[in-house]
Amino acid sequence: MAWSPQPLVSTAWLADHLTAPDLRIIDASWYMPADNRDVRAEYDKCHIPGARFFDIDEISDAQSDLPHMAPSVEKFVSRMRALGIGDGHRVVVYDSAGIFSAARVWWLFNHFGKTDVSVLDGGLPAWIAERRDTLDFPPTLRDRHFTARRNADLVRDVTQVAASAKLRDVQIVDARAPARFEGTAPEPREGLRSGHIPGARNLFFKDLLTADGKMKDKDGLRAAFAAAGVDLDRPIVTSCGSGVTAAIINLALVVLGHSNHALYDGSWAEWGAYKDLKVATGPA
């Protein structure tokens, strides 16, 4: 499977390449509705120079009842062209949490065949902590030609995941907090059962990150996967609440050189809503 050759870049790297003509920067900040944060207003007030705002909820499949499912190729191409992102551009994605929703947009680019994309390690908090410049006005955008082709190997649907849960031919790794995974905490979305996909392993996405929101080093990542009971020599499908933090696991896997993995786009928003799908509770 083809993934980004350089999944992460540092703030120092971005600062050195900030004015490169072939670089495009994306602010992919997103939060749960319950957080009551206006990420677009936050972007308008403060963003890395040159950054375009990527609306995860809008650049999605509007025909689906599930939250921010991957859009069609045509819609993704249209939105990227409008953002001035084209063929030959190097893309760096960041968010305002450190590493959170940026991983989802990084995964989307990979899913649509553009692998020259990286996540900014530490995101906007790291950039601001280093007293680097920010702006409060957007860049001038010019429509660019953008080519995309969907890579089906990087995504799984509910039928495929149900088969894997039964056959145990791949490892399902859930990025949600342990209480949600074990079913002792309610889901933030109404109408969903509590628990996890039978046979899944729980690797809370925060266990892959340092206290300041950066990706752990390779030894730390390997230790986190081992602690969760995940075998890095086997194929993996990632999951979470709605396909956002699952991508952080995919990002960590690429950092480790693991390529045989995909993301369950519907995640628990889909599985937890289907009454005929089995649900497990308690620790893995």
How many C-beta neighbours within 10 Å does residue 221 have?
22
Q: Among residues 240, 248, 251, 255, which one is catalytic?
A: 240
Rounded distance, CA 116 to CA 230, Å? 28
Tell me whether residue 23 is exposed, middle or buried, using C-beta atoms within 10 angstroms of its C-beta: 0 to 12, 13 to 18, 19 or more: middle
Tell me, yes or no, if 46 is annotated catalytic.
Answer: no
Q: Which residues are designated catalytic?
A: 240
